[in-house]
Amino acid sequence: MDQSAILAVAMALSGAIAGFLGGKRNGEIAAQTVTLLQAQVEELRTQCGQIPSLHERIAILEEMVTQRAKVEEVLEIVTEIKEKLQ
């Protein structure tokens, strides 16, 4: 075998080995990415499960604000009546 044939075979082998190792590394990265994405999806599902509870809390707060406004209106009316009576 001449030098160019040996060099061609060596380059082909090194390319095959590099491709195998690179593919294995990329496979590991892909598996880690899938695991990370699954964890994020589970977290989003957990957070979405809390949304109805948050809507209930918002409704309660809105009702409290409305009630407070009504109480303030009544207080103004009572104050006006007191002033007229004095």
Break the chain into its structural domains and give their ranges. Answer: 1-49, 51-86
Q: Dig out the tokens for 68 from the structure.
A: 């407070």
Convert the pLDDT of each residue in 9-52 to its tens digit: 777 767 766 666 666 666 777 778 888 888 888 888 888 888 88
What is the widest separation between alpha-carbon atoms in the chain? Answer: 122
pTM of the model: 0.43
Per DSSP, helices labelled H in the chain are 3-49, 51-85
Convert the pLDDT of each residue in 49-78 to its tens digit: 888 888 888 999 999 999 988 888 888 988
